[in-house]
Amino acid sequence: MARRKKIYEGKAKILYEGPEPGTIVQYFKDDATAFNAEKKDVIDGKGVLNNRLSEFFMTGLTQIGVPNHFIRRLNMREQLVRNCEIVPLEVIVRNYAAGTMSKRLGIAEGTQLPRPIVEYCYKDDSLGDPLVTEEHIAAFGWASQQDMDDILSLALRVNDFMSGVMLAVGIRLVDFKIEIGRIFDGDYQRLIVADEISPDGCRLWDIETGQKLDKDVFRRDLGSLTDAYSEVARRLGVLPKSNVTKPTLIN
């Protein structure tokens, strides 16, 4: 029996109508995809970890005053969030070269960038999320100049927060992607961080060993994705105690 109406099913999440107007329920699936869904698998427990991790990051952002869609976690796989109109851009922030930037510009993976670099991709799977410039964004009306100023400021604040949180647990935030939502309060509109923040959309490297603790483990067949995400959750103190098998000794 369907409890509620499904609004949308994406690669990693399902969205349902929320219990109150203006809310939706995000259900985190175990499905993993890469290379525009050419590589697919079901990774046991990934959805549970990403639900928890996204809650952790969004709650921290709220605490430092970065507006976002998160309201509360409902259960292992679901969270209640504000319904918003998603700006059709993948907003990427890079601190170190990796992935497509390394390929495009011939910069060795892991090279520290002179400053954080923000890139925009147009959200369209059928086109493979192409990189676009602010000229495209303005000309095609995907976001206004004011929106772009706000998006840049949100992206850099998220970067400072995430970099600091990760650094504190010995992880380098190489790059990440966020999505931005538009919400309306009467005639007034504002932009907030939406979607999810999880290792699915970040590059996270152990500072000491360089070990990858993000979706590259899946993209590049480097081992167990659940182990990698569990390690991130464990270091951040996000995993419930019963799941912590190896306590860390601090000298």
Interacting residues of 56 by C-beta distance below 8 A, sequence separation 6+: 236, 238
Q: Which helix (H) or strand (E) holds 185?
A: strand 171-185
12 lies in the binding site for ligand TYD (CB under 6 A): no
For residues 76 and 46, give the distance between their C-alpha atoms in angstroms, rounded to a whole number: 11
206 pairs with which residues across the strands?
171
Q: How far is CA 63 from CA 33, 58, 59, 70, 193, in A?
A: 31, 9, 6, 12, 14
User: Would you call 231 helix, strand, or coil by DSSP?
Assistant: helix
Size of the site for ligand TYD (CB under 6 A): 14
For residues 80 and 40, give the distance between their C-alpha atoms in angstroms, rounded to a whole number: 27
Q: How far is the CB of 125 from ligand TYD (least distance, A)?
A: 9
Q: How far is the CB of 50 from ligand TYD (least distance, A)?
A: 12
Residue length of the chain: 251
Q: Are 197 and 21 in contact (CB under 8 A)?
A: no
Query: Of the listed pieces 76-84, 133-141, 174-182, 186-194, which binds ligand TYD according to CB under 6 A?
Result: 174-182
62 lies in the binding site for ligand TYD (CB under 6 A): no
Q: How far is the CB of 211 from ligand TYD (least distance, A)?
A: 16
Q: How far is CA 3 from CA 9, 18, 25, in A?
A: 16, 11, 12
92 lies in the binding site for ligand TYD (CB under 6 A): yes
Q: Which of 45, 99, 110, 116 binds ligand TYD (CB under 6 A)?
A: 99
DSSP assignment string, 139-178 = HTTSS-HHHHHHHHHHHHHHHHHHHHHHHTTTEEEEEEEE
195 lies in the binding site for ligand TYD (CB under 6 A): no
Helix then strand then coil, in percent of the chain rounded to 5, is: 30, 35, 35
Query: Of the listed pieces 110-118, 153-161, 171-179, 230-238, which binds ligand TYD according to CB under 6 A?
Result: 171-179
Q: In the complex, which residue's CB is closest to ligand TYD?
A: 99
Task: Identify residues 110-169 at the interface with ligand TYD (CB under 6 A).
Answer: 121, 129
Q: How far is the CB of 141 from ligand TYD (least distance, A)?
A: 21
179 lies in the binding site for ligand TYD (CB under 6 A): no
Query: Of the listed pieces 46-54, 78-86, 96-104, 236-244, which binds ligand TYD according to CB under 6 A?
Result: 96-104
Nearer to ligand TYD, 88 or 201 (CB): 201
**Would you tell me how many other CB atoms lie within 10 Å of the CB of residue 35?**
9
201 lies in the binding site for ligand TYD (CB under 6 A): yes
175 lies in the binding site for ligand TYD (CB under 6 A): yes
Q: How far is the CB of 75 from ligand TYD (least distance, A)?
A: 25
* Contact residues for ligand TYD, defined by CB under 6 A: 90, 92, 98-101, 121, 129, 175-177, 201-203
